[in-house]
Amino acid sequence: MAASGCRGVRSILWKYGSCGKNFCVSRSKTVPQLPVRQICVSSSLWKKNLAAAGPQKFTQEFIDKQVEEFEVGKRHLANMMGEDPETFTQEDIDRSIAYLFPSGLFEKRARPVMKHPDEIFPKQTAIQWDAEGRPFHFLFYTGRQSYYSLLHDVYEKILAIERHQDKMRNKGLFTSETKQILLTGSRWLLKEEIEEYLVENISDHDYVRLIQLMEKLLSMPYCSLEEEFILKFRKQLEAQSSKHEIPALQYDPQGVAFSVADGRRKTAKASITLRDSGSGNITINGRNYLHCFPLLQDREQLMFPLHFVGMLGRFDIEGSVEGSGHSAQAGALRLAISRALLSFVSEGEVERIRQAGLLTADPRIRERKKPGQEGARKKFTWKKR
Amino acid sequence: MLVFFLFCFLYKSRLSLQYDHEKISERHTGQYYTLPAAHIQKLFPHGLPPRFQLQIKTFNEGCVMVRPPALELISYLKKADYSKPPLRYILYGDVGTGKTMCLSHALHYCYTQGWLIVHISDAHLWVKNCKELLPSSSRPSRFDQPIQASQWLKNFKITNERFLSKVQLGYVWTKRERTEKGQPLGELVDQGVNRMKSSSDVVGAVLRELRLQAGGATEGEGAFKLAVAVDGLNALWGKTSLKKEDRTMCEPEELTLIHNVRKMMKNNWSGGAILTALSQTGSLFKPQSAYLPSELLGEEGFDNMEPFVPVSVSNYNEKEFESCYLYYLDRNWLQHSHSRSEEGKKELIFLSNKNPSILERLCAFL
């Protein structure tokens, strides 16, 4: 085909050959006389086998360059937004990016992001051997050098404490009542967090071994010497109840205390006013709650927060609800009542209410119907052929 | 402690308060009094709410709570002048607050005083779910309901047995059949019960006769006072769910029974009282939130019934709730141990909002 094509070209050029011989293309020499068969090749041959290559490696210079570019870009961004480049924090960056590149995507991780390269590029270990191929670390050939070196460190500390103990015994100053490390309100780092710290993958068994060794360290009397080291591997737990916003207690002109709160459940929105020194009347959308919720189950939902706290006949509730169905409205009202109750109740009670699950907003929402299916989960009738 | 005393007081008073209506007064509100079984059988073959009938069967006695609306009604009845046209009393209130029970209480009073009772237990039953609708034999544009009419006549007979031989009448009411003058009412009623086809006309005749004779004789054997009690009054002026043969909707006036009862409602006779109660539960085409007379009766009904004495019935107040709760405890109806505690009582108050019918349904499974 190529040969015929060439002949075609030559024939055309022959016609116009009188125009100028310098147009003549000397292709005939390069093209072989043998017929060339075109081989059809699929694109998978020249695509890289990504899975086999492993995670992408970034060199240290590349990362440094990215960091530089990030800093410069941060200053540019600050200038664009008209703010001071010196005091431009990560929150400001996020805000500006959201403003400059508004995205309608639902997945937050798919939206445009500008963060420090350390947060974007995964942490990688540097080259661990020198130019001659000799590894730097003595435990390199174990395959998991950082994990085993950590175990070694911990064991060394155990030995050090034992030596300290012997010294104290020799001096006669040994006491078992020494300062203990406070461990309440914190937990051991999880396996994923340890992996992140060591930049290495460890198995469940390894993790358990590590925790056992740390516990052994903690069991010794003089472990307070290594407190700093141990606390590096413990994470503080925040008290969840401090996160809840307690609505402010307001007062009527008559001196009656009341609080206002909202609640939501599955498209139903409720907002109520809880008044003190009442007699247990509940008015919803201007009607008695017996008319609004003829079903016993809904009224039980309304009763639950008040009954749990033990203040059934004390409050007057007046509220409005809209949207969704009766069950969702009852759930929304229940959440609103629990939130309003927080301001009438002590701290310990708030924690109890939270643990009862009265303050958690129910995240269940109607699932989307998918194309190719009858509903959210139901499929069309399956026919074998 | 207080609860214990109250309980003892209630218990004792429940036994001692028989049915002496002379002695019952305002200070007995909240207490239960027993309806004698014989009276229940006679007076209320069809009148009591079905759940109350179940309760009578379970507890082996019928106990009614004395409540302010009923007392008010009875006091009016005591003071009324019976030489003048009858007063019309309408009991109205929310769903499940006890209108039918108050009506029954007042009716029991009338019965013990020796009145003649005309009691339509539920007018709604006459405007819906009728299997047979016959064109009237006497008038061409009306429709008869033989089954309902004969049923009602049977009940009327049971209630007012002692009067049936006393009342005299004479009436021509069909081209073919006639009753001679001077025959007792009982025969007319029997005729209506036996011959289903003309039972609706018999009902009309009975009502007409009673109207004429109620205020007639002031002394002597023929004297009686007439109590007309209608439950579900709004059915008389509302819509029906019955269809004529050509598939158009039937109007209430076209039904003989309804027409006759409407005539009774007018106060152009004397010597009695008209006690009625509205009802949303059986009503057709009315929203559930409607409970006021103007809403349920409609314009036409309201104009017809005016002037009337409205008596409102509401949920239990604290004392009445307490009494009902203790009654259930006394009869061992509340089996659950938690329901005996204070906490349980508060829960019951909350869940039922002191509505009698809802409280009853709630306690049924406790």
**What are the tens digits of pLDDT across the range A179-190?**
787 788 888 899
The B-side interface with A (CB below 8 A) comprises: 288-289, 343, 346-347, 349-351, 353, 355, 358, 362
Q: Which residue has the higher pLDDT, B160 or A160?
A: A160
Confidence bin at A19 (pLDDT 50/70/90):
very low
Q: Nearest Cβ partner of B349 from A280, A287, A291?
A: A280
Confidence bin at B18 (pLDDT 50/70/90):
low
Residue A270: phi and psi, rounded to 5, are -130, 145
Query: Could you tell me which chain B residue has the CA closest to the CA of A294?
Result: B358
Distance CA A354, CA A154 (A): 39
- The answer to whether the Cβ–Cβ distance between B350 and A287 falls below 8 Å is no
Q: pLDDT tens across B28-77, in order?
A: 777 888 888 888 888 888 878 888 888 888 888 888 888 888 888 888 88
Residue B350 · residue A312 · CB < 8 Å? yes
pLDDT of residue A121: 87
Residues of A in contact with B358 (CB under 8 A): 290
Over the Cα atoms of chain A, what is R_g?
A: 36
The A-side interface with B (CB below 8 A) comprises: 280, 282, 287-291, 296, 299-300, 303, 306-307, 310, 312-313
User: What's the rounded mean pLDDT across residues A100-117?
Assistant: 92
Q: Nearest Cβ partner of A312 from B289, B347, B362?
A: B347
Residue B239 · residue B193 · CB < 8 Å? no
User: What's the rounded mean pLDDT across residues A214-225?
Assistant: 86
Q: pLDDT tens across A114-146, in order?
A: 999 988 888 877 778 888 889 888 998 988 899
Report whether pLDDT(A340) > 80: yes
Own/partner long-range contacts of B157-166 (Cβ < 8 Å, ≥24 apart): B157/B186, B157/B189, B157/B190, B157/B193, B158/B41, B158/B42, B158/B45, B159/B42, B159/B43, B159/B45, B159/B111, B159/B117, B159/B119, B160/B116, B160/B117, B161/B42, B163/B116, B163/B224, B164/B189, B166/B221, B166/B222, B166/B224
Residue A306 · residue A312 · CB < 8 Å? yes
Query: Could you tell me which chain B residue has the CA closest to the CA of A307?
Result: B347
Q: How far is A240 from chain B (nearest CA, A)?
A: 30
pLDDT of residue B148: 84
Over the Cα atoms of chain B, what is R_g?
A: 22
Testing the interface with B: which of A279, A281, A289, A290 to mutate, by most B Cβ within 10 A?
A290
Q: pLDDT tens across A233-261, in order?
A: 888 887 665 677 888 888 888 888 889 99
Nearest to B290 by CA among A281, A291, A329: A291
- The answer to whether the Cβ–Cβ distance between B351 and A299 falls below 8 Å is yes
Q: How far is B88 from chain A (nearest CA, A)?
A: 29
Report whether pLDDT(B307) > 60: yes
Q: Which residue has the higher pLDDT, B107 or A327?
A: A327
Confidence bin at B179 (pLDDT 50/70/90):
low
Report whether pLDDT(A339) > 70: yes
Testing the interface with B: which of A303, A304, A312 to mutate, by most B Cβ within 10 A?
A312
Q: How far is B121 from chain A (nearest CA, A)?
A: 26
Report whether pLDDT(A214) > 50: yes
ipTM for the complex shown: 0.80
Residues of A in contact with B349 (CB under 8 A): 280, 312-313
Testing the interface with A: which of B346, B359, B360 to mutate, by most A Cβ within 10 A?
B346
| Count of A-B CB contacts under 8 Å | 32
- The answer to whether the Cβ–Cβ distance between B350 and A306 falls below 8 Å is yes
Q: pLDDT tens across B245-268, in order?
A: 788 888 888 888 888 888 888 877
**Where do the DSSP E strands lie in B232-364?**
272-277, 309-313
Residues of A in contact with B353 (CB under 8 A): 282, 288-290
Residue B144: phi and psi, rounded to 5, are -105, 155
**To the nearest whole number, what is the mean pLDDT of chain A?**
84
Nearest to A333 by CA among A343, A323, A319, A344: A319
Q: Which residue has the higher pLDDT, A296 or B5?
A: A296
Report whether pLDDT(A174) > 60: yes
Q: Which residue has the higher pLDDT, A224 or A299?
A: A299
Pairing of strands A234-236, B143-144: unpaired
Report whether pLDDT(A54) > 80: no
Q: Nearest Cβ partner of A287 from B289, B347, B362?
A: B289
Residues of A in contact with B362 (CB under 8 A): 296
pLDDT of residue B16: 40
Confidence bin at B24 (pLDDT 50/70/90):
low
Q: How far is A297 from chain B (nearest CA, A)?
A: 10
User: What's the rounded mean pLDDT across residues B358-366?
Assistant: 86
Testing the interface with A: which of B351, B354, B359, B361 to mutate, by most A Cβ within 10 A?
B351
Residues of B in contact with A290 (CB under 8 A): 353, 355, 358
Q: pLDDT tens across B182-235, in order?
A: 677 777 788 878 887 778 888 888 888 788 777 665 444 556 788 888 888 888
